[in-house]
Structure 1
Amino acid sequence: MKMLVAGKWIDRPKKIEVRFPYDGSVVDNVPIAEEEDIETAISNALEGAKIMKKTPAWQRAEILLNTASLILKNKERIAQTLVLEVGKTIREATAEVERTAEIFKLACEEAKRIHGETLPFDSVKGSEKKRGYFVREPVGVVLAIVPFNVPLALCAHKVAPAIAAGNSIIVKPTSQTPLNALILGELLLEAGMPPQAISVLTGPGGSVGMRLVRDERIRLVSFTGSVEVGKQIAQNAGLKKLSLELGSNTPLIVCDGVDIDRAVHATIAGGFSIAGQVCISVQRVFVHKNIYRDFVDRLVERVEKIKVGDPRKEETQMGPVIDEQNAERIVDWFEEARDKGAKVATGGTREYTLVQPTVLLEVPTSTKIMTEELFGPGVAVNSFESLDEAINLANSTRYGLQAGIFTNNIFEAMKAIEELQFGGVIVNDGPRYRADFMPYGGYKESGIGREGVRFAIEEMTEMKTVVIEIRE
């Protein structure tokens, strides 16, 4: 596919191959953007930002709603593309396309609700004759840097709020999964997006991505990805707004007396969907000692029934991880945990990029799976005696995106809500839960800022304060 540069489809001689994670076959290739393309995209985005700022809210909402309709109209094409470049199952891909359309619908609604408020100047002595308010205005040019795991929906979480707020956008998709973003660019143009206001540039993150990050004309960078790359962006961005949704090592606490089957279901749904390649995948599970053995037995029994294989087949429940390098790393982490004393209850092996769903027991806290982000199909399950112990274990990481707790005790729930150091706490469901309207982001090294359509719009706008003297 060609890349989209200010509404025009451009090709270049240097290419990047997009490969099917399941077997390594070439799906397509995309051009590597050159300096000329980057400059064209940015200079046009500046003009596009002026156009978007003058575009009324109803018209921006119309573009967003049109985009949602076009996404659903092209659902099968986009879903098949996601299967081939990401390796997620056809069911997961179809769900992502439908979710993406809903994100654009949400943004359509929020585009009509961007407003400020009046300010009570008579509350300040000497300012009784002043009146004022603040309004929100678009930041200008937004750079959206998108990850490989849920590329279409997470691109939408950046692009749709940017349009709602009246900004222009440059999208930099990951080199592993750029095709869906290019299709989205095509649909945005068809939906009525001004050509100057949308570009999708392909190429390596270290060159194309960082060149965009460093440019002073970019006003906001919205990035989803690893902590390490997030730190590089922060170091290179200069004086601009940043929205960074970074990694996690997500804990789930299961207290005594809860419905064990529900907790097991949440662990499996949260730990193995998209082969565990989600920022808020369940990775560490802390189960009360009284129900630990029962929980483990039910969990292992169900995990061993997960159908792993070709993601193109309807019966497949879990597909491959993104590439063999990551598959090898994931299994190395399992082996490190086993070497340090953990027990492998099931899984722990791979065939090319198909990593078997894995459950590790009694895992030492010094292991990588207990301290870093696995981004693979594995969960570590340990027991605890007191809730204080479980909360301390959950907090013992540099990450803080989301956490979950199953409990029937309101006092336990409130204690966890108050003491867990995470941007989201999910009670009586898995921490993998996310509704696209809610604020989403983390504490500590899990990032800066919040996504969720309304809250992303706040990030992508500036406040302007207006003060009027009414004294005659």
Structure 2
Amino acid sequence: MPLDPHKYSIALLDCLTNIKEYTIKSVCKASLYSEEDVLNLWGAAERFVQNFPVLVSQQKEYINVLGDTCRNLWPSEVRRLPWGTILVCIPANAIIPLAIILPLALAASGNRIVFAFSQKIREIGIQVLNKIETCLGDSLFVWEGTVRDVVDGLIEPEPHIDLLYYMGGSSQYPAIAEKCARNGVDLHYEGEGRTIALLDHEMSTPKLYASAQNILLSKVFCNGMMCSSPNAILVHRESFSEFTKAYESLCEGPYKLSFLDSSLADLRNKYGTEKPKLQTDKSPCFWEVDLPTALNAEELFCPGILVAAYDDIDECINIIAKTRHKLQISLFAEEKSLLERMISRTGFARYCLNMNPALQDPCLPWGNYGSSGFSDVSNFYEKGLRKVIIEGTGQ
């Protein structure tokens, strides 16, 4: 049965306090993120746990309203019940501690959770879980093999789980969805999301520079590994040169970042030599590409961006509206009217005006629009419960 949300929140917050120093040091060492960035992530995770009782209350209120609607027809009841056993697959580019702490709400919903980590983050993931499991008892387990092994081993030839919560690239979705459907396993799939920054065609030089600075700060946060960190930057052709010069000057700052060697090699093969030319892998950079390339590129998950020029703002909006996996768009404009035009003509999960925050509030809905993520529920408590309807008096 679901845990008491207030007791769960207090117990987990106490546990997080005890492991905070150890976890932050371990994450910084394993990921090469700055301590300041990891502290920000930790703060977001703590806010989620603190607000967990409110999320539960809001969900119960929604269910009560739904039940009242049904009762107008005949006696009925709507309940949210645990799935049972949930397999949580966490990819190599997942942001710890958020990637572990947020799914713990699935356990608070009354489920048994099996974590499967990609090899890169496996050691730190297990270490953190070992220190957290004391407050959640015997509801947490770790799969010893790879993510691919666990998907095969726990779903086929005989299902051992009730729900698969999978984070990974959207290219893998069809095969995983088919496997789950074939074996009667439900699926919450969090795939990729396209994150775009669009600069209006009428921007002053100070605004243009401020936009470049805002985008850069988002790209250097956690080495650009956040889903909300923009990949495609669209700039009007008349301002293109001015923007790229401003961005290049900002890239020369004293940043301590890290590209994966293989990722950087792949990007160079696709887009050529980056600007500014990296002498080491410790600097943000960008590639100048055409509009279709920028909008169709996969998530970069590094401190690099793709910058493309457009000629007409309305035509650009029409092209953006046709892209897949529309997760977030950041609009930099002198007037708010552009935001309203974007909302009415495109479908993104998140709109930002004159800002590009790399950190997403974990208590807010995220994704599941325009094929960005595929999951149709907004927070981790909801993900851990299935809805059942009971009708009739039983007499």
Which TM-score tier does this pair reach, normalised by the shorter chain?
Answer: 0.7 to 0.9
Contact 1:114 1:165 (8 Å CA) reproduced: no
What is the one-letter code of the residue matched to 2:374? I
Q: Provide the residue aligned with 1:164 in structure 2.
A: 108
Distance 1:262 1:350 in 2: 26
1:384 is displaced (CA, Å) by: 2.6
The answer on whether the counterparts of 1:137 and 1:463 sit within 8 Å (CA) in structure 2 is yes
The answer to whether the 8 Å contact 2:88/2:115 transfers is yes
The answer for unaligned runs of 5 or more in structure 1 is 1-52, 125-129, 309-317, 339-343
Structure-2 separation of matches of 1:148 and 1:371: 19
More helix by share: 2
Distance 1:190 1:67 in 2: 9
Shift of residue 450, structure 1, vs aligned partner: 4.7
Contact kept in structure 2, 1:224 and 1:244, CA below 8 Å: yes
Which amino acid is 1:88 matched to?
Answer: Y
The change in CA–CA distance for 1:292 and 1:112 in structure 2 (over 3 A counts) is: same
Among 421, 428, 433, the residue aligned to 2:347: 421
Q: Which residue of 2 aligns with 1:185?
A: 129
Q: What is the TM-score of this pair, normalised by structure 1?
A: 0.73
What is the DSSP-based 3-state SS (H/G/I as helix, E as strand, rest coil) of the residue aligned with 1:177?
Answer: helix
* Post-superposition CA distance 1:312-348 (Å, at most 9, x none): xxxxxx2x23x4322322332331xx5xxxxx5413x
Q: Which residue of 2 aligns with 1:357?
A: 284
Alpha-carbon deviation of 1:203? Answer: 2.5
Q: Aligned AA for 1:101?
A: E
1:207 paired residue number: 149
The C-alpha deviation readout for 1:346-401, integer Å capped at 9, x for no partner, is: 13x464xx26321223x124547852222222112223333222223434543322
Question: How much identity, in percent, do the aligned residues show?
Answer: 16
**SS state of the match for residue 78, structure 2?**
strand
Partner of 1:346: 276
**What pairs up with 1:133-144 in 2 under 5 angstroms?**
133-144=77-88
Correspondence 1:457 to 2:384: no
> Aligned to 1:277, which of 196, 218, 225?
225
> Would the aligned equivalents of 1:152 and 1:180 in 2 still touch at CA under 8 Å?
no
Taking the TM superposition and a 5 Å limit, the aligned residue runs for 1:365-376 are 365=291, 367=293, 370-376=296-302
Task: Name the SS of the counterpart of 2:386 in structure 1.
Answer: strand
Map 1:64-103 → 2, pairs under 5 A: 64-103=9-48
Q: Distance in 2 between matches of 1:109 and 1:297?
A: 46
Q: 1:306 to 1:445 in 2, by over 3 A?
A: farther
With normalisation by structure 2, the TM-score equals: 0.86
Query: 1:148: Cα distance to partner?
Result: 2.8
Q: After superposition, what is the alpha-carbon deviation per residue over 1:220-274, rounded to whole angstroms, capped at 9, x for unaligned?
A: 2112221233333223223332222212342111112373343223211222322
Which of the two has greater strand per residue? 1
Q: How far apart, in 1, do the equivalents of 2:304 and 2:27 lie? A: 23
**Amino acid across the alignment from 2:198:** I
Residues 277 and 437 (structure 1), Cα distance of their counterparts in 2 relative to 1, 3 Å cut: same
Structure 2: unaligned runs, 5 residues or longer: none
1:241 maps to which residue? 186
Q: 1:121 to 1:174 in 2, by over 3 A?
A: closer
Distance 1:465 1:245, change over 3 A: same
Q: Contact between 1:327 and 1:355, CA under 8 Å: does it hold in 2?
A: no
Partner of residue 378, structure 1: 304
Question: In the alignment, residue 199 of structure 1 is paired with which amino acid?
Answer: F
The DSSP-based 3-state class of the residue aligned with 1:446 is: coil
Counterpart of 1:257 in structure 2: which amino acid?
Answer: M
CA 1:416–1:395 in 2, change beyond 3 Å: closer, same or farther? same
The change in CA–CA distance for 1:200 and 1:85 in structure 2 (over 3 A counts) is: same
Amino acid at match of 1:300: E
Q: Which amino acid aligns with 1:140?
A: G
Letter in 2 for 1:74: I
- Work out which of the residue numbers 385, 388, 407 in structure 1 matches 2:333: 407
Query: Which residue is equivalent to 2:267?
Result: 330
- Please report how far the alpha carbon of residue 446 of structure 1 lies from its aligned counterpart in structure 2 after TM superposition: 2.8
Distance 1:194 1:113, change over 3 A: farther
Q: What does 1:43-54 align with in structure 2 at a 5 Å threshold? A: 53=1
Aligned: 1:257 with 2:257? no
Instruction: Tell me which residue corresponds to 1:148.
Output: 92
Q: Secondary structure at 1:210's aligned position in 2?
A: helix
Structure 1 Cα separation of the partners of residues 86 and 279 of structure 2: 40
User: In 2, distance between residues paired with 1:122 and 1:399?
Assistant: 38
- The structure that has the greater radius of gyration is 1
- Tell me if the contact between 1:67 and 1:187 (Cα under 8 Å) persists in the aligned partners: no
Cα shift readout 1:69-117 (whole Å, capped 9, x = no counterpart): 2223222211121122222222222332333233222334434554222
Q: Is the 8 A contact 1:72 1:97 kept in 2?
A: no
- Measure the CA separation in 2 of the matches of 1:121 and 1:142: 29
Distance 1:450 1:69, change over 3 A: farther
Distance 1:303 1:392, change over 3 A: farther
Instruction: Name the CA distance, whole Å, in 2 between partners of 1:236 and 1:387.
Output: 43
Q: Using a 3 Å threshold, how does the CA distance of structure 1 residues 428 and 365 change in structure 2: closer, same or farther? A: closer
| Structure 1 residues 178 and 97: CA distance shift in structure 2, 3 A | farther
Q: Structure 1's 397 and 375: CA in aligned 2 closer, same or farther, altered over 3 A?
A: farther
Equivalence for 1:392: 318
**Letter paired with 2:52:** A
Alignment partner of 1:441 is 2:386: no
In 2, are the aligned partners of 1:264 and 1:295 still within 8 Å (CA)? yes
Q: Could you tell me how far apart the structure 2 residues matched to 1:395 and 1:132 are?
A: 41
How far apart, in 2, do the equivalents of 1:451 and 1:307 lie?
Answer: 37
Alpha-carbon separation, structure 2, partners of 1:111 and 1:421: 27
| Contact 1:450–1:456 (8 Å) recurs in 2 | no
For 1:435 and 1:208, the matched residues in 2 are separated by 30
Given that 2:295 and 2:320 are in contact with CA atoms closer than 8 Å, whether structure 1 keeps it comes out as: no
Q: Mark the CA change 1:89 to 1:199 in structure 2 (over 3 Å): closer, same or farther.
A: same
Question: CA 1:122 to 1:132, structure 2 compared with 1: closer, same or farther past 3 Å?
Answer: closer
Where 1:285 maps in the other structure, the secondary structure is: strand
After superposition, the CA RMSD in angstroms is 2.8
Deviation at 1:440, TM superposition (A): 0.6
Local SS of the residue matching 2:97: helix
1:206/1:108 CA distance change after superposition, 3 Å: same
